Amino acid sequence: MGFSTLCYHEFRKRKEITEKSPSPIKVAQEYEDALPRELFTYIEDFEEQMNYLKEEKYHVLSFEEVRAYFEGAEIQEKSVLLTFDDTYQSFKEYAYPILKKYQFPIVSFVVLGWLSEKEEPFLPERSVSMSKAELESMNDLLTTANHTTMLHQRFADFTTAIQTVTDEELKKDLDACGAYVDEPNVFAYPFGIYNQNDVLRLKEIGMEFAFTCEPGVNTQETPVLELHRSVVPLGISLSKFKELLV
């Protein structure tokens, strides 16, 4: 049977962005990058998607249910896990009120070093990370999980900072994020980039679960450090969205 996992990043109203140029990020860490437009979601589409899950009686999983499933428990038919990466402001501005309406839980993968101490105005032209207070204000629906402290950085050769650090440095970074989030041993690979050595290192550290950006259904036979997630791309039609689900 299994479950699907959906991955979201940024949200905008249709009139606020074009579909071509990437969006510069602004985070507390000294790191410059730009978020590709395909990682955005029109909030109008998100509303339609969440309504579809409600109307079609999908069961939106808590992470406690996911853990129980991999420990041998049954899972409801038409189950889906909702995840949100990188803690951009638009989640609170746009997505959270919709999730609140439907009372859907969500797992938020947090880059601890990106969270600011002071809230900034929401600016649609930039991808700005939330403050800690903003993130914590949504803990009625959010379960926070590990997305590194300072290692969410990518390089031109399609590697990330994870591959550049020692085992000791990796553990120290993940432990720091783990001390802040609800689920310290639940991880998402930055940018979905990983190799088998990364899997082995996470296992040695004691990570319980790790999510990729490889689409597919998760069953009890899926390796728990290579769990599937489907990124929901900008402008996806409802018919194509349905194909991402169990």
User: Are the C-beta atoms of 9 and 86 separated by less than 8 Å?
Assistant: yes
Strands 23-26 and 34-35: antiparallel
- pLDDT greater at residue 22 or residue 188: 188
Q: Rounded CA gap, 133 and 139, in Å?
A: 10
Mean pLDDT of 191-206: 97
pLDDT(77) > 90: yes
Mean pLDDT of 74-89: 97
Environment class of residue 192 by beta-carbon count within 10 Å: exposed (0-12), middle (13-18) or buried (19+)?
Answer: middle
pLDDT of residue 206: 96
The alpha-helical segments, DSSP class H, found in the chain are: 43-55, 63-70, 89-90, 96-102, 132-136, 167-178, 196-205, 238-242
User: Are the C-beta atoms of 120 and 128 separated by less than 8 Å?
Assistant: yes
Q: What are phi and psi of 203, to 5 degrees?
A: -65, -45
pLDDT(183) > 80: yes
pLDDT(20) > 90: no
Strands 40-42 and 34-35: unpaired
Residue 210, strand partner residues: 187
Q: Which of 43-47, 105-109, 120-124 has the weakest average pLDDT?
A: 120-124
| Domain boundaries, given as residue ranges, for the chain | 3-242
Q: Which CATH number fits domain 3-242: 3.20.20.370, 3.40.50.11540, 3.30.497.10, 3.50.30.30?
A: 3.20.20.370
Residue 7, strand partner residues: 83, 231
pLDDT(52) > 80: yes
Q: pTM here?
A: 0.96
In the chain, the largest separation of any two C-alpha atoms, in whole Å, equals 48
User: Are the C-beta atoms of 58 and 78 separated by less than 8 Å?
Assistant: yes
Strands (E), the chain: 3-8, 10-12, 23-26, 34-35, 40-42, 59-60, 79-85, 106-110, 127-128, 142-146, 183-188, 209-211, 230-231
Mean pLDDT of 202-209: 97
User: Are the C-beta atoms of 54 and 102 separated by less than 8 Å?
Assistant: yes
**What is the SS3 assignment for 116?**
strand
pLDDT of residue 217: 97
Going by C-alpha positions, the residue among 209, 210, 148 that lies closest to residue 177 is: 148
